[in-house]
């Protein structure tokens, strides 16, 4: 059992007493596992919320937040992309995805799998999307292609800004996993304050992020990579952008680049204490921002 799969199962077990379970999404040729927490009584919003994770992560990244989200949403999903968490691998191995065409093919499969997943989960009614890091870029791209399927978009430190050479160098340094202490170094970049368990699990973090699925996607980045200019600016859904003042994983230019192409309806929040993954470090505070945003939409 892989580290990611073990963590996913442990999260599901922890959520079991709060209505959590593991769902299997058959999305031929892909299969994705998802953590799901739901409740039977009425919720303030009738929309389903889907949480999209970042690079080298899984649905378990939202473990602390999922039961909290049921205060507003009656049906909460956190899928894991192929080759992440408990989800089976992609139809092709990234080791065989060589060259520019191979790189584009592998990246397109990841986006395609997410697209099929989100189309499936939005069949009955539009969904609310919560995306962190690379999951934010996935959420933006889906909302741009299928605006009628998305009720609202909530983004935490989303990737997708156009990258320069210095931006790529920054990401390569952050995600470098060649030395023994790189796991703990990454956690110190990810969190404002590393949890007590950080030094204990740092070797597992390094093991997870050193997998080809994570490393090659970083090392194959090219200047200009990112979302298309109109993918973000052309969004019609309401958008909440949360960018913590302690963000250190993404390049410092990312927020400015995103705002240069922001849709007019975007609401920007910059919490003082948030770092790259507030769903882990400050789930209650993040929930408050999400609820405030949704209440604004309900009042319209």
pLDDT classification of 105: cutoffs 50, 70, 90: low
Question: Is the peptide bond prior to 29 cis by the omega test (within 30 degrees of 0)?
Answer: yes
pLDDT at residue 93 tops 60: no
- Please state which CATH class domain 3-163+225-299 belongs to: alpha beta
Q: What is the pLDDT of residue 228?
A: 84
Determine the 3-state secondary structure of 127 from DSSP. strand
Q: Retrieve residue 29's tokens.
A: 């040729």
Can you give the residue ranges of every domain in the chain?
3-163+225-299
Please report, for residues 59, 83, 93, 279, 285, the alpha-carbon distance to residue 79 in angstroms, rounded to integers and kept in the order given.
5, 12, 20, 15, 23
CA 282 – CA 223 distance, rounded (Å): 33
For 112-138, what is each residue's pLDDT tens digit? 999 999 999 999 999 999 999 999 999
For 38-65, what is each residue's pLDDT tens digit? 876 666 667 899 999 998 889 999 999 9
66 — alpha (psi -120 to 50), left (phi > 0) or beta? alpha
Using an 8 Å Cβ cutoff, are 163 and 226 in contact?
A: yes
């Amino acid at each position: 059992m892989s580290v990611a799969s073990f963590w996913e199962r442990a999260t599901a077990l922890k959520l079991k007493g709060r209505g959590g379970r593991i769902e299997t999404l058959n999305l031929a040729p892909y299969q994705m596992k998802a953590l799901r927490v739901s409740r039977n009584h009425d919720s303030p919003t009738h929309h389903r919320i889907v949480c999209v994770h970042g690079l080298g992560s899984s649905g378990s990244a939202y473990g602390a937040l999922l039961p909290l989200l049921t205060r507003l949403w009656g049906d909460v999903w956190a899928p894991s992309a192929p080759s992440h968490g408990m989800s089976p691998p992609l139809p092709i191995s990234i080791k065989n995805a060589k060259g520019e065409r191979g790189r584009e093919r592998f990246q397109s499969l990841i986006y395609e799998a997410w697209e099929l997943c989100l189309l499936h989960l939005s069949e009955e009614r539009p969904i609310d999307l919560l995306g962190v890091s690379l999951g934010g870029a996935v959420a933006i791209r889906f909302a741009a292609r299928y605006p009628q399927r998305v009720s609202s978009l909530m983004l935490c430190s989303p990737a997708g800004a156009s990258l320069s050479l210095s931006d790529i160098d920054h990401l390569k340094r952050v995600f470098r996993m060649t030395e023994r202490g790189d796991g703990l170094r990454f956690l110190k970049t990810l969190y404002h304050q590393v949890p007590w368990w950080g030094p204990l699990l740092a070797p597992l973090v390094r093991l997870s992020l050193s997998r080809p699925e994570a490393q090659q996607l970083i090392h194959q980045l090219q200047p200009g990579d990112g979302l298309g200019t109109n993918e973000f600016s052309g969004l019609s859904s309401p958008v909440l952008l949360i960018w913590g003042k302690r963000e250190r994983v993404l390049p410092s230019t990312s927020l400015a680049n995103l705002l240069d192409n922001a849709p007019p309806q975007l609401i920007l929040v910059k919490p003082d204490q948030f770092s790259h993954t507030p769903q882990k470090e400050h789930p209650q505070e993040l929930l408050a921002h999400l609820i405030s945003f949704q209440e604004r939409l309900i009042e319209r």
